[in-house]
Structure formats: structure tokens, C-alpha cells
């Protein structure tokens, strides 16, 4: 019973604030965790990337040493323009880093190397902001000030756990590094998850959790890498992924939504001259002015480019 939201403005706007407003309106669909991915809010040169890294250890001294090790690994491979604490707790610290002088392939290699360090996890990396954590939307906003993040488009999620443990890593959105900057949020279940995962792993995809949603983002990324358009990839997913689902996908230039063939999970879209919005409930769209709202039919997909 998760809640999903997506937004794309024609131009750079207050994407973070809008997503938080939408997500608060369907908070009843899940309070286990919440998260957003926001695009187009940070100006970056072609060789610049954002990265969020968690270092986990109840021993503060060991945590500090791991931070020094992480900084050393990064600086051996690129420039570390900033490395600041985003959030800290009794057992962990999350860092927000800005890197330069590398490309996407080198970024992927760096992510793999950092993830191989004990008690270090790269939460996301790319040219967009991804913030997710356990707890309701209000906690996400209070802890990370998501509503202050500008952007052209983004996706959001409130989770009611059904398929895997409740923690920061299994919260939505999920990212794939097969192609740059692709994320997904999902409501429902993928019943052929293990079969889909095995096929993707044979093609070199690296999964980091046992959450069934993760296979969706890898599936779509795989199609995009093979030359499919986003529209075509979503259409293929409706035929090849089983189970009750509705999901929203975001890339640097587009946003899309897909609904299972039996129509077992809700999804609707709204649009006017300024915005294209997607949600799992109409209440999330009621604060937009002059919005034409449509419910997706079973098996229907939509994509939008700002």
C-alpha cells in the first residue's frame, strides 16, 4: 500500500517542496520509510558528480578513521570538492560529497570500491539529489530539508513494507548505475522478481538489496542501454514483469509511469501548461490549479519530457 508521486515542471522550479506536499497527502499509505529523487536543481559541469556516503560504526573513533580512508580513496581517483556531514546518529554518519574530474564510468568504479570498504555504503551517486530514510515524510523533511531543494522534476515515495526489511537501504527511490541517473519508486509486488533478477545479473547488473523494486530500475536501465526509448521500455515492462504494480521512473530528461495489466495498483496523471504530475491518489494532486486529471487504464504507460 505504498504511495508514489512524480512531478515535472516546464523549467526549474520548487520540485522538493512540491513532492513533500504531495507525499504528505498520502502519508497514510505507509510510514515505514520515505524518499525523493530530485533532478535539475544543481548546476554541475560534465565532470562533476554528487555522492552520498554512509559510514556505520558505533565507535566514533573508528568512524572517523573510516572517513579519512574514504576521503583518501576518493582523492586518489578524482578531486573531492566538498565533503560535509548531512546527518549523523549514534551509529552512523551520512556525508554529502561533491566530486570532479571524473566521468560516469570512473564514477561507477569508485562506487564499487567504496562499497567494498567495511561499514561503508554509497547511498547514491550522480547528477541529482537522492534522499531517503526510515520514518514518515515529516521526519524526512525535518532531517534533510527536502522542501528547500529546487529542481525541474523528481519522484517521491512513502513505504509500507511488504517484501523486505525496513531500513535506509531498502527505502525508495532505487538507482541503477547501468545508465546515468535513473531512479524508480514503486507500489505493489513484482512476483517474478527472482527470475528477472537472475536474468539481469547474468548481464552484469549488480543488486545491492533483496527489495523487489530494485529489479524494476535495473530492468528499465537495461532496456535503455539496449537502445529502447523510455516509452518502449515501459511498454515492455508491462508485458514482462508480473504482479500487481504501479511505478514511476525518472531519468535526467524524462519521467514515466506504468501500471500492471490487471490494473491492481492505482496511478493517475494530471497536467496543465506548467506541470505534469503523477500520484497513487487524487488527493495528492488537489492543490494544483487547473489540472486535467486522468486515471491510467490497466497496462497503460505514460512518459513526459519537460
Q: Which of 2, 110, 258, 278 is catalytic?
A: 2
What is the C-alpha separation between 181 and 226, in angstroms, rounded? 16
CB 19 within 8 A of CB 36: yes
78 part of the active site: no
CB 113 within 8 A of CB 105: no
Distances (CA, A) of 121 to 42, 60, 82, 95, 116: 23, 17, 18, 11, 8
Phi, psi of 287 (to 5 degrees): -85, -10
Task: Retrieve residue 9's grid coordinates.
Answer: 515542471
The alpha-helical segments, DSSP class H, found in the chain are: 15-25, 60-77, 104-115, 137-144, 193-202, 213-225, 230-240
CB 280 within 8 A of CB 5: yes
Which residue's entry shows cell 527505502?
171
Task: Answer left, alpha or beta for residue 11, where phi above 0 means left and psi between -120 and 50 means alpha.
Answer: left
The catalytic residues are 2
Amino acid at each position: 500500500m505504498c504511495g508514489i508521486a512524480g512531478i515535472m515542471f516546464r523549467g526549474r522550479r520548487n520540485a522538493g517542496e512540491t513532492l513533500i506536499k504531495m507525499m504528505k497527502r498520502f502519508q497514510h499509505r505507509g510510514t515505514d520509510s520515505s524518499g525523493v529523487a530530485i533532478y535539475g536543481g544543481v548546476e554541475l559541469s560534465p565532470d562533476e558528480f554528487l555522492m552520498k556516503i554512509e559510514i556505520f560504526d558505533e565507535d566514533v573513533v573508528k568512524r572517523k578513521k573510516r572517513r579519512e580512508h574514504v576521503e583518501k580513496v576518493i582523492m586518489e581517483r578524482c578531486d573531492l570538492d566538498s565533503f560535509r556531514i548531512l546527518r549523523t546518529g549514534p551509529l552512523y554518519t551520512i556525508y554529502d560529497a561533491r566530486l570532479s574530474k571524473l566521468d560516469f564510468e570512473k564514477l561507477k568504479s569508485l562506487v564499487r570500491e567504496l562499497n567494498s570498504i567495511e561499514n561503508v555504503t554509497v547511498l547514491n551517486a550522480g547528477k541529482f539529489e537522492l534522499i531517503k530514510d526510515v520514518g514518515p515524510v515529516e521526519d524526512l523533511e525535518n532531517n534533510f530539508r527536502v522542501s528547500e531543494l529546487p529542481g525541474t522534476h523528481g519522484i517521491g515515495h512513502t513505504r509500507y513494507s511488504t517484501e523486505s526489511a525496513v531500513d535506509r537501504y531498502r527505502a525508495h527511490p532505487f538507482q541503477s548505475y547501468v545508465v546515468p541517473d535513473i531512479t524508480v519508486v514503486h507500489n505493489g509486488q513484482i512476483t517474478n522478481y527472482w527470475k528477472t533478477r537472475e536474468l539481469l545479473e547474468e548481464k552484469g547488473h549488480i543488486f545491492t538489496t533483496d527489495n523487489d523494486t530494485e529489479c524494476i530500475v535495473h530492468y528499465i536501465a537495461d532496456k535503455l542501454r539496449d537502445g529502447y526509448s523510455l516509452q518502449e521500455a515501459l511498454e515492455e515492462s508491462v508485458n514482462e514483469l508480473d504482479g500487481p504494480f504501479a511505478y514511476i521512473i525518472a531519468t535526467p530528461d524524462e519521467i514515466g509511469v506504468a501500471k500492471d495489466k490487471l490494473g491492481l495498483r492505482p496511478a493517475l496523471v494530471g497536467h496543465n501548461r506548467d506541470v505534469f504530475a503523477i500520484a497513487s491518489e487524487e488527493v495528492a494532486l488537489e492543490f494544483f490549479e487547473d489540472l486535467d486529471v486522468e486515471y491510467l487504464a490497466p497496462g497503460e504507460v505514460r512518459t513526459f519530457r519537460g
